[in-house]
Structure 1
Amino acid sequence: MADFVHVAARLRALQRGQAVPIVSQRQLVIQPHARILTLLAMAGEDTSVHAVALGRFGHPPEINVVADPRRRDDQYALLRWLLPFFEDYYAECLAAGTFPQIWVSSAGALGHLDTLADRLRFTDEDDIKRLGTLWTYAGERSPVAGQQVLISATTVLRAHYATGQQEAEDEHLGSLLTWIEPPAGRDIFAAVATAEAQPMAVKTDPHFDRTTLQPAIEDYNRARSAGKPESVIAFNRARIQQMLEGVIRPIYAATQRAISLLTAPRWQLNPALDALADQEAREFERFMAAREAGFHLPYHDKPKAGAMKIVARERAVANLEAGLLRHDRSAREKGVVSGSVLRAQIVDIRKEKIRPRLFEYDFVLSSHQDSLHLRAGDELWTLDDPKISVRIDDVERRGPFTWVTGRVLDGKNAVKRTSLGITLDFGPKAPNWEGIGNDLRQMSVRLTNEPWTHGDTTPAPTPVNRPMPANLLAAVESLA
């Protein structure tokens, strides 16, 4: 049902010929010192860096181009040029008690950087390994819910706007920006088609490669192999750089434009982001401390380390959802539509005396929602003040209403001051980012004894005390 809200927004954007905002609050932390990193890879060389543009928000980029990244020495020279920028940036963030933030144009560019980080960590050059290690922090954080380090401009814009095109088409940053700011007096689809002609990820246009770039690279390599004067080689190198600068500068500028749109005053503050920023700073400090202590990053996690990361990611998903439901109005309304949030009116408060000066309270709630995800035994918390938790005892559908009865567990004093007829929103418990330690300890205990499903020893069969029925199929059918 929550997807229906997004579909409606896309239809409205298609009707208007312009993207429509789908939230009123900012959906991510934007670091004022964030770095924009734009990389181009050579066609067929997914782990190469042909050109790079690096800069801060509001500043022009510093660009470096290698004529042929297949030449290892030239490729490594470009990577060594990048290393001081990231070492200094990470050191500044660590000293300030905050975290770095790297912006790329799209999810494809994000994946390219993550792949590069893995590859560079296992080269035979210490400085190249160092760059791969620094990039690995961003790459490892990227799949974690609520992470604020490695940011894809298209992903973040899609969290704020809905366009009139398919979701896959939104991954082209140029077309996405065209929907958000369409040119006046021009058909939106014609404008989008023009924008899509400009590459916005990590690969150049195949026609450009065949007709322009590849001949220039061949001329450069031919001049080097033939021992031509340095002036001839430099001319061919400058020619390639000019070509690639014409591709990489628009991508960098589009990423700058995306950040500018997201820092506009129209977006209201989102208190849910404060906890995400604090958590990111702690994660960054732990990562850098581990590197200074000499702990190396493996290529593949061992089973226990992998299980721990899965636990951490699951906790991050739960914390992010709980935090957004409390502070993000859009997430709250989507939760009401999907049924993950119970919005109900208090119909009755039942008071039961257990012993002198000890009472139990039951809520009887009524809701218009028809897609609630509730079961007996679920524990829900109020998403606003007063802080009350309820254990669901019974859920009953009565015509257009859902009646819910629940025992109050926490906040009994607040219940005494609660009036009948008011509407409350209930959802998951408040996020506890620092409580991940308890989950990790619990998983560590579970992994102490390896389960038989992960070992070589098969457990002995359990004897069956009851006799086998003569007709097994009939016995199963009789259970229905």
Structure 2
Amino acid sequence: MSLISALARLEAVEAGRAQPLATVRHRHLSERPLVLVPLTTAGEAGAPLGALVGSDPEEPRLLAVPQPRDRDLRSAFLAQLADAVLPHLESYADDVEPAERKETDPETGKRVTVQTELCADAPQLIVPSRAGVEYVRLLGRSMRFRRTAEQDPDAPYPAPPRVPLLGRWLTHYGERARVPGSSLLLAATDLLNRHWATGQSNLEDQHLGALLAWVDPPEAESGAEAALRAELARDSGGQLLCPPAGPATDPAFDNRLLAPAMERYDRARMALATAEDGAAADMRLGELTRAEREIRELLASQLRPTWRAVWRCIELLRELPEGPRADGRWTRDRWSFTGHRDRVRAGEPPQPRRDDAVTAAQKLATRETAQAQLDAQEALDDPLVMAGRRLAGEAFASEVTDVVMAWSESKRPSPRPLVTVRTNDRPHLGGDGGPGGDGDAADDGAGDGSSVGGNSAGRGTKVFRVLADGKSQTAEFVGREADGSLVLRLTDRMGRSKEPAEGSVPDKGDRIVWTLFEHEQRGGPKLPDPEETPWTHGGPPTTEPELPDVVTVEDVL
């Protein structure tokens, strides 16, 4: 936890409501996000119990499984989920715009520009919590290898073609959620925690009701009181007034309400199966319908509060202006969506259960680069985030006190001006790490034969600033003056002529924020092709598509 976050939490405790951690919204929010609130059966991993899904806060679609142990009912639930989600995903697939991207020419090995198309927008999926994100991944893994009647006519339980297709999409969204800064699949709790600090623990912040109680407390009530009521308050029947955000349900709900309702449903279904004539069958069918309706109403009572909480979270986040660099990250999400759309349409097999060594290394490198890039962009977009980096010694705000022109000693001299700045921050530039250091005097060649007195420990450390055109300019730390001022040498972004381009060198009196972290992250080392994977790392990947798991006795009721 950063110092600025710890301070915000202390202020939240004192003020009785959450304190902002950001002045802008660091995640893209779609105009029409698809919200999914899932529920699962206790004691059986991945067994669906119900869900609310939709892009209209006033008209959600309720999906329910009256008996999760029935394989047919679970399969019907997955088919209904596909019917609800796939049209939303496919509505974005054909709205495209021309675009360019860099690709490697297979013949020459050089990077060339290719004209292609990019989806103008991408569907966004929002779930209540991190557990919901993991459940989306679990659903995708369990659905994408389902066999259809066309693929395997002898399959004992063939799935509709839309079920494995949705599994592939959910797997893609689940993988994309692991990329820092991606906004294709978001958790409402993570969105709130990124932008507000509460007075409770990180574990308590995963309770959506308690988290909203801190961010948006009722009038005449503190966040702590509202959060405690959201976590523990129950009605006269012993049921939580604010049900958990799922996918797990409250044990009191399971034992007192859901289990008896499922028993009545099972008895009604058994009675219908043993009916001896049409009149008895009609009466038993009515009992079965009432039992199923009761279960649906019970599940709706648990899902609706969370549904409203997720949309309230979206409303609160829309009040924040979007960060300038969030759109660039959303463009990468659009490329990701477009690429997966193309793979699906090309008839490629579903994602494998396990990545080969090269693919796994590429994913890890991509996520590491994305995390470093996200940290840098959030600081550049948000003064409050930058304040935390300044407190950590990773950036410093300064005022230019002097500029001395200098040039490199080469056949074609390039401008290397020396910029003297004054700062009250304590950046990690070596020495005592702060202004006004009392280190031993040292001389440092500045490129023009001059010298800089004072502590020059950390000489050569690179610092960066943002120019007016949004590009990053690099400077080197040269030394520290006797009065604590810092001397920096600009090294790039000044044009090719001997005289620096206009606006590339700061003027005396300019206030500049310098960072010790790069603004644009570099790529890692080139990895071998998957076909050249050594045997120590699993060897080349197989070209045969993976087969589904063998049906066992436990799969058949």
1:409 matched to which residue of 2? Answer: 492
Q: Residues 340 and 373 of structure 1 are in contact (CA less than 8 Å); yes or no, is this contact kept in structure 2?
A: no
Mapping 1:386-465, distance limit 5 Å: 389-392=473-476, 394=478, 401=484, 403=486, 405-411=488-494, 412-414=500-502, 417-427=505-515, 428-431=517-520, 439=524, 442-444=526-528, 450=534
Q: In the alignment, is residue 207 of structure 1 matched against residue 252 of structure 2?
A: yes
Question: d(CA) in 2 for partners of 1:454 and 1:393?
Answer: 43
**CA deviation vs aligned residue, 1:453-479 (integer Å, no higher than 9, x gap):** 8599xxxxxxxxxxxxxxxxxxxxxxx
Judged with a 3 Å threshold, the aligned counterparts in structure 2 of structure 1 residues 189 and 318 are, in CA distance, closer, same or farther, namely closer
1:122 matched to which residue of 2? Answer: 145
Mapping 1:241-320, distance limit 5 Å: 241-264=296-319, 267-296=320-349, 297-320=351-374
Q: TM-score, normalised by structure 2?
A: 0.73
1:383 matched to which residue of 2? Answer: 466
Question: d(CA) in 2 for partners of 1:376 and 1:294?
Answer: 56
Question: d(CA) in 2 for partners of 1:421 and 1:314?
Answer: 38
Supply the AA of the counterpart residue of 2:170: W
Q: In the alignment, is residue 153 of structure 1 matched against residue 188 of structure 2?
A: yes
2:219 matched to which residue of 1? Answer: 184
Judged with a 3 Å threshold, the aligned counterparts in structure 2 of structure 1 residues 168 and 236 are, in CA distance, closer, same or farther, namely same
Q: Residues 326 and 384 of structure 1 are in contact (CA less than 8 Å); yes or no, is this contact kept in structure 2?
A: no
Supply the AA of the counterpart residue of 2:511: T
Shift of 1:298: 0.4
1:369 matched to which residue of 2? Answer: 425
2:395 matched to which residue of 1? Answer: 341
Question: d(CA) in 1 for partners of 2:462 and 2:340?
Answer: 35
Question: d(CA) in 1 for partners of 2:25 and 2:493?
Answer: 32
Question: d(CA) in 2 for partners of 1:155 and 1:416?
Answer: 39
Secondary structure of 1:300's counterpart equals coil
**CA deviation vs aligned residue, 1:289-314 (integer Å, no higher than 9, x gap):** 11222222101101011111112212
Judged with a 3 Å threshold, the aligned counterparts in structure 2 of structure 1 residues 190 and 415 are, in CA distance, closer, same or farther, namely closer
Supply the AA of the counterpart residue of 1:306: A
Q: In the alignment, is residue 234 of structure 1 matched against residue 289 of structure 2?
A: yes
Q: TM-score, normalised by structure 1?
A: 0.84
Judged with a 3 Å threshold, the aligned counterparts in structure 2 of structure 1 residues 377 and 354 are, in CA distance, closer, same or farther, namely closer
Shift of 1:257: 1.0
Supply the AA of the counterpart residue of 2:307: Y
Shift of 1:216: 1.6
Judged with a 3 Å threshold, the aligned counterparts in structure 2 of structure 1 residues 109 and 224 are, in CA distance, closer, same or farther, namely same
Q: Residues 320 and 431 of structure 1 are in contact (CA less than 8 Å); yes or no, is this contact kept in structure 2?
A: no
Greater CA drift, 375-384 or 244-253: 375-384
Question: d(CA) in 2 for partners of 1:453 and 1:394?
Answer: 47
Match of 2:266 among 221, 241, 246: 221
State how many pairs are aligned: 446
**CA deviation vs aligned residue, 1:381-406 (integer Å, no higher than 9, x gap):** 3124375633535466979x473544
Q: Residues 3 and 388 of structure 2 are in contact (CA less than 8 Å); yes or no, is this contact kept in structure 1?
A: no
Question: d(CA) in 2 for partners of 1:169 and 1:309?
Answer: 31
Supply the AA of the counterpart residue of 1:101: Q
Judged with a 3 Å threshold, the aligned counterparts in structure 2 of structure 1 residues 162 and 288 are, in CA distance, closer, same or farther, namely same
**CA deviation vs aligned residue, 1:153-179 (integer Å, no higher than 9, x gap):** 111011221211112111111111111
Question: d(CA) in 1 for partners of 2:132 and 2:538?
Answer: 40
Q: Residues 342 and 372 of structure 1 are in contact (CA less than 8 Å); yes or no, is this contact kept in structure 2?
A: no
Structure 1 segments of 4 or more deviating over 6 A? none
Question: d(CA) in 1 for partners of 2:538 and 2:166?
Answer: 38
Question: d(CA) in 2 for partners of 1:153 and 1:444?
Answer: 39
Judged with a 3 Å threshold, the aligned counterparts in structure 2 of structure 1 residues 395 and 135 are, in CA distance, closer, same or farther, namely farther
Question: d(CA) in 1 for partners of 2:538 and 2:91?
Answer: 47
Q: Residues 173 and 200 of structure 1 are in contact (CA less than 8 Å); yes or no, is this contact kept in structure 2?
A: yes
Mapping 1:76-87, distance limit 5 Å: 76-87=75-86
1:99 matched to which residue of 2? Answer: 122
Question: d(CA) in 1 for partners of 2:408 and 2:312?
Answer: 63
Q: Residues 57 and 256 of structure 1 are in contact (CA less than 8 Å); yes or no, is this contact kept in structure 2?
A: no
Question: d(CA) in 2 for partners of 1:239 and 1:4?
Answer: 51
Question: d(CA) in 2 for partners of 1:164 and 1:353?
Answer: 54
More helix by share: 1
Supply the AA of the counterpart residue of 1:292: R
Match of 1:142 among 177, 183, 195: 177
Identity %: 25
2:23 matched to which residue of 1? Answer: 24
Greater CA drift, 387-396 or 200-209: 387-396
Question: d(CA) in 1 for partners of 2:503 and 2:406?
Answer: 10
Question: d(CA) in 1 for partners of 2:337 and 2:43?
Answer: 34
Supply the AA of the counterpart residue of 2:220: G
Structure 2 unmatched ranges of 5 or more: 96-118, 148-158, 232-239, 275-283, 431-457, 495-499, 540-557
Question: d(CA) in 1 for partners of 2:467 and 2:429?
Answer: 20
Question: d(CA) in 2 for partners of 1:166 and 1:159?
Answer: 14
Q: Residues 379 and 392 of structure 1 are in contact (CA less than 8 Å); yes or no, is this contact kept in structure 2?
A: yes
Secondary structure of 1:38's counterpart equals strand
Secondary structure of 2:527's counterpart equals helix
Judged with a 3 Å threshold, the aligned counterparts in structure 2 of structure 1 residues 305 and 202 are, in CA distance, closer, same or farther, namely same
Question: d(CA) in 2 for partners of 1:17 and 1:224?
Answer: 52
Greater CA drift, 101-110 or 183-192: 183-192
Shift of 1:283: 0.9
Judged with a 3 Å threshold, the aligned counterparts in structure 2 of structure 1 residues 139 and 398 are, in CA distance, closer, same or farther, namely farther
Supply the AA of the counterpart residue of 1:136: T
Judged with a 3 Å threshold, the aligned counterparts in structure 2 of structure 1 residues 260 and 359 are, in CA distance, closer, same or farther, namely closer
**CA deviation vs aligned residue, 1:114-154 (integer Å, no higher than 9, x gap):** 11211222233343211211111210111101101111111
Supply the AA of the counterpart residue of 1:392: E
2:108 matched to which residue of 1? Answer: none
Supply the AA of the counterpart residue of 2:331: D
**CA deviation vs aligned residue, 1:14-38 (integer Å, no higher than 9, x gap):** 1121122232212211111111111
